[in-house]
Structure 1
């Protein structure tokens, strides 16, 4: 049976999951993002800038605070209200990295981020940096000196 407009718009389809966080002394509720929220999140961590040769534009992922930024949108209370505002991302990001990463994985899954998108956002694939300049602030390693130097 094909769904009609009202059935689709009336469906409660945003998932939630309770996650035990022993490091914090209890459970948190993680909610997946809506389509609009997911688009806004993905847009907020991408920056477009001119290519090195100045002939085009490239998308660069801004990974700093990315996990906490997603979690501020996805951690909710029993009534379904957000626990954090977008401005709380930095404070939340200062919490245990292992916990933040674990909760990020749940939020990403509930929000429909595919493994490929998740890897690209985390910078673990060629897609994330293909054609983009590095955003790392660490210097590149140099080759070992030759025996003749």
Structure 2
């Protein structure tokens, strides 16, 4: 049975997950981002600058505070309301890197960040390109070599 417009728009599809944070003495609730929120987050960690030769522009990922920028959007209370504003990212980023990294992994997964995007945002690989390619999730040669 094919879904209609009302069924799609009425579906509750944004996931939440409760995560134990013993370092903070309790649990937190992490909510995945909506499509619009994900776009805004990805846009907030990208800047465009002239290429080295000055003949074009290139996208550069701004990693400073990136994990906290995602978490302030995803940490919610029992009612689903955000605990933090975007301006709280610096304060949250001053907390334990171990905790922030662990919570970021959950927020990224719930928000639909692909492993390729997550690695690019974390600086572990080249950023995904918007060149109209196939977007294949096939492993590259380096990930299959032993």
Q: Which category describes the TM-score, using the shorter chain as reference length?
A: 0.7 to 0.9
Structure 1 runs not aligned, ≥5 long: 129-149
Structure 1: how far apart are the matches of 2:82 and 2:13?
Answer: 17
Structure 2: how far apart are the matches of 1:120 and 1:58?
Answer: 15
1:17 is aligned to 2:17: yes
Query: In the alignment, is the contact (CA less than 8 A) between 2:30 and 2:107 conserved in 1?
Result: yes
The CA deviation at 1:87 is 0.3
Structure 2 runs not aligned, ≥5 long: 129-146
The CA deviation at 1:127 is 3.3
1:32 is aligned to 2:50: no
Aligned residue pairs: how many? 128
Structure 2: how far apart are the matches of 1:127 and 1:86?
Answer: 24
Equivalent residues in 2 for 1:85-104 (5 A)?
85-104=85-104
SS in 1 for 2:2: coil
Structure 1: how far apart are the matches of 2:114 and 2:12?
Answer: 21
State which structure, 1 or 2, has the greater radius of gyration over its C-alpha atoms: 1
After superposition, what is the alpha-carbon deviation per residue over 1:110-147, rounded to whole angstroms, capped at 9, x for unaligned?
Answer: 0000100100000101337xxxxxxxxxxxxxxxxxxx
TM-score by length of 1: 0.85
Cα-Cα RMSD: 0.8
Aligned to 1:50: 50
Aligned to 1:66: 66
